[in-house]
Amino acid sequence: MTERIVEPLLGEVLLGAKKADEALRKDNESHARAMPMQRLLGGGMEYADAMALHSIGDRATRWVDAAIALAERNLTQARIALGEGNTETARASFHYASACFRFGHSAITSDTEEKRGVYARMVSSFSEAARLECLDIRKMDFAYREGQLCGWLVRPSRLGPMPLVVCLGGFDGWREEYFLGAQYLAERGVATLLLDGIGQGESRLFHRLYLGHDFTEAVSVALDQIASQIPFTAIGIWGNSMGGFLAAACAIQDSRIIACCVNGGTVRPAEILDRYPRFIEKVKAILGVSDSVEAETRMREFDIGPSIQGLSCPLLQLHGEPDQVFLLENARRIYDGAMSSDKSLIVWRDGDHCIYNHTHEKYTELADWFESRLRR
């Protein structure tokens, strides 16, 4: 007979912690708004971890420190499970650790050594989980400029001829956050390349590749290199948030892309600065510049409105009506302007940014749509 008491998550971290000063309290509240429960859960975090992270409230604990503590607890559980031969438990715990590190580093705006360190631990945890997955997951890096574009190729375990979907994130939601969507696609026999484009994730933090007007060229170069190694029957692209803007632009420029999904996107990403001027810090990071005026000027140059009629492949657009990051009126300019004869716009009346609050429905719509367009 055994008895075991499980203490509350973050109990030791928060126990005896003083109240946060005004600046730290506001920072933690800001991170909680940027990373609400539905985003944490949809991005792979375990429910108890997400609840614990949102519970730090006015305690004198930084968001990133709380997230790291949760990640380390999951890593400990994963290693214990591996030692006991419980592979599935270990795999899940490695994924949960990766999610905690991921939503931890997102709270660090600038590309500091601390951010790189947390990000590296996230990649390591995801690698451990990938090694235990039943899916075929491999790390793929593509030479570009003086660095590399970095990604994960996720394929069904039953290999053979299949289509490929390239997935792009946005300002701070990067490739691993969309692994769940890649699983939905794999169930339908579609491979996914979870890619950090220029200005994103590993490609930026470790290879100093920053966003520029050559972003469509970068994706095309990655497609050139992956196609030389693995033949795919068809290629689609799926972008989230600002990545929706990137995906639409890539579909306009590269004729190999025969289906495009824009989730929570817009024709001009700089619109976020109209409502959230403090977001300029993330804009500076993605562009690799230190001056706010220069960053805003350069970001406002990104606008596919004038070229949107060049989008002619099948288009699926997903958006939330209350979305204040990218307004529906700006998002639907993609749908209205595209010359695609096969195009659909799905609007959730209560949908948040990128439809985090309807994760399963969003991914079934997306995965079923890509299966029907790429496998026919």
pLDDT tops 80 at residue 11: no
Q: Which fold has domain 135-376?
A: Rossmann fold (3.40.50)
Mean pLDDT to the nearest integer, 107-130: 97
Q: Tell me which of 1.20.1440.110, 3.40.50.980, 1.10.600.10, 2.60.120.380 is the CATH number of domain 1-133.
A: 1.20.1440.110
Number of separate helices (H) and strands (E) present in the chain: 16, 8
- Whole-angstrom distance, CA of residue 17 vs CA of residue 15: 5
Give 14-34 pLDDT, tens digit per residue: 655 678 788 888 899 999 999
In the structure encoding, which two tokens stand for residue 22, read together?
Answer: 């005004």
The residues pairing with 150 across neighbouring beta strands, listed in sequence order, are: 141, 196
135-376 and 1-133 share a CATH fold: no
CA distance 67 to 62: 9
Backbone angles phi, psi at 88, to 5 degrees: -65, -40
Q: What is the mean pLDDT of residues 280-305?
A: 97
The mean of the pLDDT values for the chain is: 95
Burial of 255 (0-12, 13-18, 19+ CB in 10 A): exposed
Q: Which pLDDT value is given to residue 17?
A: 66
* 20: amino acid identity, one letter: A
Q: Tell me how crowded residue 54 is: count the other CB atoms within 10 A of its CB.
A: 17
What share of the chain in percent tops pLDDT 90?
89
CA distances from 170 to 10, 126, 158, 199, 347 (A): 30, 19, 31, 9, 20
The confidence score (pLDDT) of residue 59 equals 80
Q: What is the pLDDT of residue 23?
A: 87
pTM of structure: 0.95
Going from N- to C-terminal start, the domains of the chain cover 1-133, 135-376
pLDDT higher than threshold 80 for residue 301: yes
**Segment 338-364 mean pLDDT:** 98
Average pLDDT for 281-288: 97
